[in-house]
């Protein structure tokens, strides 16, 4: 009797073990994707990456997983795109300004006052026709955009108060080294001064520059308010942040796997944008808590002043490229 009981128990254990083993085997990933970005784990881009990874694992039933490499451990943004092209990375998220170095269509997002609000930017980013137009040339370079995140609205912060257009006259303003950012600040009467991002704090602290342009959530996280306690909310650029997949990897995926990637990309986009919106709604209180003085200059005169920047774009890229501007601006 005891022998029979032991045999029965052993058989049950073997069945359980086999079931467990089978479950593990079924859950083992068939595809592992490598995703890299340059921001810390506290940033919205990392949180969006995590959401992408979690969703992809969920919708694929564990058949696809993502390894995330944050903090620029895989290189700067240009390094990431080049790695994507040769297939040593599967997914990266980088600025539209950097993406434009690989497909000039993306330069349109560097134009000043192109969008009136986050909602306006989202409308354009989700328009299938516009996304198709943007992605076509990029795919030919081995880079396929699968989602569009947002990095925040770029404004001005400086050592002294700015209330209107004349207040920008003669101010040395640190900008990204983007030709349309430089042209914008020149049109506003400032002296655009490109500097590496890592030098912004000391440049403000020493007075090398009078101010800088950038996303205000980054201004807070980097404590730029310690040397530049004045913010002029102009929201002149809404920073578009595409999530790209290597075309070489995309071609290797089955139709089902591609559908899972699309689902994960859509979920990450909704999630990441909401983080930025939530941060933006709290921004007035956040700035006040740090003693920051906020002004809101009249945007009308600023829009008029930067009209030459649009003419520059039209002359450089032609009427066909400019038609994208008109498409974006239509109601």
- At 20 the pLDDT is 34
The residues pairing with 175 across neighbouring beta strands, listed in sequence order, are: 194
Give Dmax (Cα) for the chain.
Answer: 98
Mean pLDDT of the chain: 90
pLDDT band at residue 331 under the 50/70/90 scheme: low
| Residue 161, helix vs strand vs coil | coil
Q: Average the pLDDT over 18-46 and give the result.
A: 74
DSSP track, 69-108:
E-TTTT--HHHHHHHHHHTS-SEEE--HHHHTTT-GGGGG
Residue of 159, 191, 166 lying closest to 292 (CA atoms): 159
Q: Average the pLDDT over 198-208 and give the result.
A: 94
pLDDT band at residue 27 under the 50/70/90 scheme: low
pTM: 0.83
- pLDDT tens, residue by residue, 149-167: 999 999 999 999 999 999 9
Q: How far apart are CA 285 and CA 296, in angstroms?
A: 15
Q: Are 184 and 165 in contact (CB under 8 A)?
A: no
Number of Cα atoms under 13 Å in the Cβ half of residue 161: 7
Q: Average the pLDDT over 110-114 and give the result.
A: 96
- pLDDT tens, residue by residue, 214-258: 999 889 988 999 999 999 999 999 999 999 999 999 999 999 999
Percent of the chain with pLDDT over 70: 92
């Amino acid at each position: 009797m005891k022998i029979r009981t032991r045999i029965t128990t052993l058989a049950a254990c073997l069945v359980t073990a086999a079931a467990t083993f089978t479950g593990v085997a079924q859950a083992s990933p068939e595809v592992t994707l490598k995703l890299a970005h340059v921001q810390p784990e506290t940033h919205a881009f990392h949180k969006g990456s995590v959401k992408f990874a979690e969703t992809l694992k969920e919708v694929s039933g564990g058949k696809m997983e993502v390894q995330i490499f944050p903090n620029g451990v895989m290189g700067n943004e240009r390094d990431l795109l080049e790695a994507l092209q040769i297939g040593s990375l599967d997914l990266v998220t980088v600025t539209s300004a950097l993406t434009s170095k690989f497909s000039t269509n993306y330069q349109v997002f560097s134009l000043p006052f192109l969008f009136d609000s986050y909602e306006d930017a989202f409308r354009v980013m989700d328009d299938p026709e516009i996304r198709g137009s943007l992605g076509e040339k990029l795919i030919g370079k081995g880079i396929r955009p699968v989602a569009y995140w947002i990095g925040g609205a770029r404004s001005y912060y400086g050592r002294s108060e700015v209330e209107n257009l004349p207040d920008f006259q003669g101010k040395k303003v640190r900008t990204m080294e983007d030709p349309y950012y430089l042209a914008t600040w020149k049109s506003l009467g400032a002296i655009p001064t490109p500097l590496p991002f890592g030098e912004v704090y000391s440049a403000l602290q020493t007075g090398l520059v009078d101010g800088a342009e950038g996303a205000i959530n980054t201004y807070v996280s980097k404590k730029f308010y310690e040397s530049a306690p004045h913010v002029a909310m102009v929201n002149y650029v809404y920073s578009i942040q595409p999530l790209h997949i290597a075309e070489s990897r995309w071609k290797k995926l089955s139709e089902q796997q591609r559908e899972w990637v699309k689902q994960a990309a859509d979920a990450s986009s909704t999630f990441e944008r909401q983080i930025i919106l939530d941060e933006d709604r709290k921004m007035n209180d956040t700035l006040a808590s740090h003693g920051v003085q906020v002004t809101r200059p009249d945007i009308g005169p600023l829009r008029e002043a930067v009209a030459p920047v649009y003419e520059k774009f039209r002359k450089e890229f032609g009427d066909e490229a400019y038609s994208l501007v008109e498409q974006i601006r239509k109601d």
